[in-house]
């Protein structure tokens, strides 16, 4: 339902009128300097940074190894439903774990509030900050925030060195035109609002696990 | 006669700076921030180059603000979102309350947003009997205390765990043994979780709005911002028109810079981009997405070329943390939405120079704020600009003019200078001897009231100079 918005033109007119007075250029040097250290070994850096972010990162060489890891993590969780991004690779993986837990797929809707864990893929892994990039395609918005444990199944080929590369790829791929949501996730949910003391598991997952497959 | 804002500031500042418990809490909080901030800066190969880059990007954004806002609007609309331009606080609140009324909203969950504090959105919703939950832990705590945020990044920085445990006991009816922060957080999580899943509307701010992609960017650590924008069926973003960045890739420097300046982190845990309601084929997300672009005095500030760069601010809070005045008087003393140096510069523009000009004097002009600002705003000089503008607009008081005239002629005439300074020294010596230092008749009362008087020299600088100090 379109709403009348007379202030739109008013504000734009005020902005244009204001900008007619130019600002003097800033005396500081123009910055072409290198801001961040270049990243030589993305895998090593990702492992370091994700550990610093209090994530768990386990390396495996193939899907069977990944299924073994996933099975172990699921065994460590209390009984309850698991929410999964509906993707053929995750359907194969969960089958390999032979889990008996109730499953809910993203094609059936949002994760239920009482989900014990969510399993999704990622768009990319970012070495610079030890982060996981997800979009709405990775099981929706709730897939990475609703349950107390979020498990990401990713491949080493998805590693990019830095934020600039990840954001550049995201823009150029047109994913943001199709998706209403994307998020760079750098660790488990946390807060330091009480006396600056770090507490994990504020409103989102207490655990963020990346199962990182290095071989095919 | 009711107290003016300036008198209120002085009264509260005197109380707070003498409150030793408060000082201790703030000292500990800021010391831990300082250490994290310094460590965080070391993660950059060249921190100053990062600041310079941010400055250049914001300058480009603000100097083409109309173009970038229109680009943002077009992209959001293409995904089925709505963009509303609000000239002032009243229009912004009206738009949000109209949506709430139209869709029968009973419960709202809010993630942290200083612009919603600025426009007083929560009271406007509460007037309609809508329950509003602040979901950021710090905001939740100050909401329970019926207080505004103490700090733009850490709203409950002024409270220790014992005070928070008492508050939760009183308001939530649960006593946490040992005031354990982990258990306090768990209690808040349990309480707020019910509201996330029952609310019809989520309200968030935006740390940035990105023109080339038509998305808003929100940085949160707790994940409350994620839940507010994922679960309820309506998402409303309320943000200032100045939050624009031209390109998505600009976030590659702004995200780390904001996190480093805000908390010392390398990047905030959830750096989220949202550009519309749930799209076809998406598993979840709201059915409606609204962005309210708030002007509320910002375009007036834009027209002031001298102070335009104040709109570059990314609200990281670094200038508050470093400010010796903020550290002593605390956030609530300012009586404004935005506190500390940036608040003292910005508030007179947003809320009126006449009422808030005194804030320009809540500064020692030491320049610490300018030295830490991640977008290189020349904060302490803007405080001077505000002082000048205040004098120019209201004119000065007769007494002030006379004092300056006297000072001027004294400085221009050495004989008068010698006479007055010698008379002054004698008068003070006499007063001090009579035990009247700091009393109402002491011209140095402002200093001597709380301190032992500065010892008076036996002779003046001039006479010592004549005797050969120069050699």
Partner B contacted by A186 (CB < 8 A)? yes
Taking only the tens place, the pLDDT of each residue in B207-242 is 999 999 999 999 999 999 999 999 999 999 999 999
Q: Tell which phi-psi region holds residue B289, choosing left (phi > 0), alpha (psi between -120 and 50) or beta.
A: beta
Claim to verify: residue B154 and residue B253 sit in the same structural domain: yes
* CA distance linking residue A31 with residue B48, whole number of Å: 9
* pLDDT recorded at residue A63: 96
Tell me if B2 is assigned to some domain. yes
pLDDT of residue B166: 96
Contact A18, B302 (CB under 8 A): yes
Q: How confident is the model at residue A144 (pLDDT cuts 50, 70, 90)?
A: very high
Look at residue B9 and tell me whether its pLDDT is greater than 80.
yes
Residues B212 and B248 in one domain: yes
pLDDT at B2 over 90: no
| E strand or H helix at B170 | helix B161-172
> Do B438 and B329 sit in the same domain of this protein?
no
Quick one: pLDDT at residue A122? 98
Assess if residue B15 is contained within a domain.
yes
Please provide the average confidence, as pLDDT, over all residues in chain B.
94
Q: Is residue B316 part of a domain?
A: yes
Q: Does the distance separating the beta carbons of B55 and A194 come in below 8 Å? A: no
Selected residue with higher pLDDT from B209 and B354: B209
Lowest-confidence region among A26-30, A135-139, B23-27: A26-30
Residue B301 counted as domain residue? no
All domains of chain A in start order, with CATH: 40-213 (3.40.50.10420)
Q: Is A64 on the interface with B (CB under 8 A)?
A: no
* Among candidates A110, A129, A195 on the partner chain, residue whose Cβ is nearest the Cβ of B284: A110
Please answer whether residues A17 and B303 qualify as being in contact, where contact means their C-beta atoms are separated by less than 8 angstroms: yes
For the residues B174-185, what does the mean pLDDT come to? Answer: 93
Q: Using the beta-carbon criterion (under 8 Å), do A190 and B221 form an inter-chain contact?
A: yes
Cβ atoms < 10 Å from Cβ of A93: 22
Task: For residue B383, give the CATH number of its domain.
Answer: 1.10.1060
Question: Do B54 and B38 have their domain in common?
Answer: no
As a whole number, mean pLDDT of residues A68-79 equals: 97
* pLDDT at residue B470 greater than cutoff 60: no
CA dist., res. A20 & res. B391, Å (int): 26
- Domain of residue B166, CATH code: 3.40.50.10420
List C-alpha distances in Å: B351 to B56, B89, B148, B331. 28, 11, 17, 17
State chain A's maximal CA–CA distance in angstroms. Answer: 69
A106: contact with B, CB 8 A cutoff: yes
Percent of chain B with pLDDT over 70: 99
Which range (A37-51, A52-66, B359-373, B397-411) has the least confidence? B397-411
Domain count for chain B, please give it: 3
pLDDT of residue A26: 65
Q: Do A196 and B56 touch (CB under 8 A)?
A: no
Please give the distance of CA B462 from its chain centroid, rounded to a whole number.
46
* Chain CA centroid to CA A194, Å: 26
Q: Provide, as residue numbers in chain A, all residues whose Cβ is less than 8 Å from the Cβ of B229.
A: 141
Check pLDDT > 80 for residue A31.
no
pLDDT digit string (tens) for B258-268?
999 999 999 99
Check whether residue B427 and residue B386 sit in a common domain. Answer: no
Pairing verdict, β B208-210 and B215-220: antiparallel
pLDDT for residue B352: 87
In a domain, B358, yes or no: yes
Which of chain A's residues have a Cβ under 8 Å away from the Cβ of B30? none
**CA A75 → CA A79, A97, A120, B37, B299, distances in Å?**
9, 10, 18, 39, 57
- Of B352 and B268, more confident: B268
Whether residue B254 sits in one domain with residue B125: yes
Residue A30 pLDDT grade (very low, low, confident, very high; cuts 50, 70, 90): low
SS3 content of chain A, % helix, strand, coil (to 5): 30, 20, 45
> Which tens digit of pLDDT belongs to each residue from B360-408?
999 999 999 999 999 999 999 999 999 999 888 877 788 988 999 999 9
For testing the chain A interface, which of B69, B228, B270, B293 should be mutated: the one with the most A CBs within 10 Å?
Answer: B270
B252 vs A14, A164, A182: nearest CB: A164
Whether B380 and B282 share a structural domain: no
The answer to the question of residue B116 being in a domain is: yes
Query: How much of chain B, in percent, has pLDDT values that exceed 90?
Result: 89
Boundary residue ending a domain (B395, B427, B452) = B395
- Interchain CB distance below 8 Å, A180 and B289: yes
- What confidence score (pLDDT) does residue A24 get? 72
* pLDDT average, residue stretch B144-172: 95
Lowest mean pLDDT among A14-18, A130-134, B189-193: B189-193
Q: What is the pLDDT of residue B127?
A: 97
CB-CB neighbors (< 8 A) of B247 in chain A: 171
Whether residues B110 and B227 share a domain: the answer is: yes
Please check whether residues B53 and B104 belong to one and the same domain.
yes
- The mean per-residue pLDDT over the stretch B150-160 comes to 95
pLDDT at residue B462, rounded to an integer? 85
For A60-87, letters b (16+ CB in 10 Å) and e give beebebbbebbbebbeebeeebbbbbeb
pLDDT (0 to 100) of residue A199: 92
Residues B38 and B65 in one domain: no
Interface contact A182, partner B, CB < 8 A: yes
Q: Minimal Cα–Cα distance from B34 to chain A, Å? A: 12
Which residue intervals of A36-130 are DSSP H helices? 42-52, 63-75, 88-97
Q: Testing the interface with A: which of B28, B101, B226 to mutate, by most A Cβ within 10 A?
A: B226
Q: Would you state the pLDDT for residue B469?
A: 66
> Is B212 found in the same domain as B93?
yes
Say yes or no to pLDDT of A32 above 80: no
**Is residue B77, in this structure, part of any structural domain at all?**
yes
What integer is the mean pLDDT of B131-139?
96
pLDDT at A140: 97
- CA–CA separation, B254 vs B314, rounded Å? 9
Q: What is the mean pLDDT of residues B84-104?
A: 98
Same domain, B245 and B371: no
pLDDT exceeds 80 at position B100: yes
- Torsion angle of C-alpha atoms B61, B64, B69, B71, degrees rounded to 10: -100
In this structure, is the dihedral angle defined by the CA atoms of residues B33, A161, B217 and B45, taken in order, positive or negative? Answer: positive
Question: Confidence band (pLDDT; 50, 70, 90) for B465?
Answer: confident
- What pLDDT does B298 receive? 97
- The predicted-structure confidence for B27-74, as pLDDT tens digits, reads as follows 999 999 999 999 999 999 999 999 999 999 999 999 999 999 999 999
- Residue B51: inside a domain: yes
* B274 pLDDT more than 70: yes
Burial pattern B26-65, b for ≥16 Cβ within 10 A else e, equals: beebbebbeebbeebbebbeebebbbbbbbbbbbebbebb
The alpha-carbon gap from B112 to the nearest alpha carbon of chain A, in Å, equals 13
Domain finish residue from B368, B395, B422: B395
> CA B221 to CA A202: how far, in whole Å?
8
Quickly state the pLDDT bin for A149 (edges 50, 70, 90): very high
What is the per-residue pLDDT for A27?
63
A168 → closest Cβ in B84, B184, B249: B249
> Where is the domain boundary, B338, B360, B395?
B395
By the 8 A CB rule, do B274 and A181 touch?
A: yes
Chain B contacts in chain A segment 143-172 (CB below 8 A): 143-146, 162-164, 166-168, 170-171
Domain carrying residue B461: 404-469
Question: Average pLDDT of A96-118?
Answer: 96
Q: A189, B137: Cβ pair inside 8 Å?
A: no
């Amino acid at each position: 339902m379109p709403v009348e918005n007379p202030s739109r033109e008013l504000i734009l007119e005020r902005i244009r009128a204001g900008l007619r007075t130019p600002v003097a250029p800033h005396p500081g040097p123009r910055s072409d300097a290198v801001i961040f250290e270049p990243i030589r070994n993305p895998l090593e850096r990702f492992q370091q940074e994700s550990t610093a972010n209090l994530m768990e990162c386990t390396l495996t060489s193939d899907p069977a190894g990944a299924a073994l890891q996933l099975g172990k993590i699921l065994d460590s969780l209390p009984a309850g439903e698991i929410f999964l991004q509906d993707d053929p690779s995750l359907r194969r993986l969960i089958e390999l774990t032979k889990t008996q837990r109730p499953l809910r797929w993203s094609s059936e809707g949002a994760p239920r509030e009482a989900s014990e864990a969510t399993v999704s893929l990622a768009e990319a892994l970012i070495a610079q900050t030890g982060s996981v990039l997800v979009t709405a395609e990775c099981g929706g918005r709730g897939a990475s925030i609703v349950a107390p444990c979020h498990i990401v199944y990713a491949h080493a080929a998805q590693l990019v060195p830095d934020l600039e590369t990840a954001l550049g790829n995201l823009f150029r791929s047109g994913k943001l035109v199709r998706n209403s949501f994307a998020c760079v996730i750098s660790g488990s949910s946390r807060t330091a609002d009480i006396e600056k003391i770090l507490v994990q598991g504020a409103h989102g997952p207490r655990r963020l696990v990346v199962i990182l497959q290095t071989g095919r | 006669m009711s107290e003016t804002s300036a008198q209120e500031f002085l009264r509260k500042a005197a109380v707070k700076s003498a409150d030793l418990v408060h000082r201790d809490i703030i000292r500990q909080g800021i010391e831990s921030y300082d250490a994290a901030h310094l460590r965080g800066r070391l993660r950059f190969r060249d921190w100053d180059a990062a600041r310079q880059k941010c400055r250049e990007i914001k300058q480009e954004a603000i100097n083409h603000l109309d173009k970038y806002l229109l680009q943002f609007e077009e992209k959001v609309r293409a995904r089925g979102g709505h963009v509303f331009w609000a000239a002032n606080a009243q229009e912004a609140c009206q738009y949000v309350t109209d949506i709430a009324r139209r869709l029968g909203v009973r419960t709202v969950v809010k993630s942290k947003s200083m612009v919603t504090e600025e426009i007083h959105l929560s009271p406007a919703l509460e007037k309609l009997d809508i329950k509003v939950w602040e979901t950021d832990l710090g905001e939740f705590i100050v909401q329970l205390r019926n207080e505004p945020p103490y700090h733009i990044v850490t709203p409950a920085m002024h409270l220790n765990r014992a005070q928070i445990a008492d508050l939760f006991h009183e308001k939530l009816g649960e006593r946490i043994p040992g005031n354990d922060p982990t258990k306090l957080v768990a209690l808040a999580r349990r309480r707020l979780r019910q509201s996330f899943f029952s609310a019809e509307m989520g309200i968030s701010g935006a740390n940035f709005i990105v023109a080339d992609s038509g998305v808003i960017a929100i940085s949160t650590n707790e994940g409350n911002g994620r839940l507010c924008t994922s679960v309820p069926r309506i998402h409303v973003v309320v943000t200032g028109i100045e939050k624009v960045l031209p390109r998505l890739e600009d976030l590659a420097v702004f995200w780390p810079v904001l996190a480093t300046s805000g908390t010392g982190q390398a990047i905030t845990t959830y750096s989220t981009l949202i550009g519309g309601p749930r799209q076809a084929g998406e598993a979840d997300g709201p059915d409606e997405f609204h962005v309210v672009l708030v002007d509320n005095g910002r375009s007036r500030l834009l027209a002031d070329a001298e102070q335009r760069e104040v709109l570059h601010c990314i609200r990281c809070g670094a200038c508050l943390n470093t400010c010796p005045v903020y550290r002593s008087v605390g956030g609530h003393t300012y009586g404004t939405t935005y506190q500390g140096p940036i608040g003292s510069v910005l508030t007179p523009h947003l809320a009126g120079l006449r009422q808030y000009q005194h804030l320009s004097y809540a500064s020692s002009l030491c320049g610490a704020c300018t030295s830490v600002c991640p977008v290189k705003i020349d904060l302490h000089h803007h405080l001077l600009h505000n002082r000048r503008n205040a004098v120019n607009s209201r004119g000065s008081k007769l007494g002030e003019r006379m004092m300056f005239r006297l000072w001027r002629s004294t400085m221009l005439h050495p004989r008068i200078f010698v006479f007055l300074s010698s008379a002054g020294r004698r008068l003070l010596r006499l007063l001090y001897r009579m035990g009247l230092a700091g009393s109402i008749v002491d011209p140095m009362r402002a200093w001597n009231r709380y301190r032992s008087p500065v010892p008076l020299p036996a002779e003046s600088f001039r006479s010592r100079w004549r005797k050969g100090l120069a050699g």
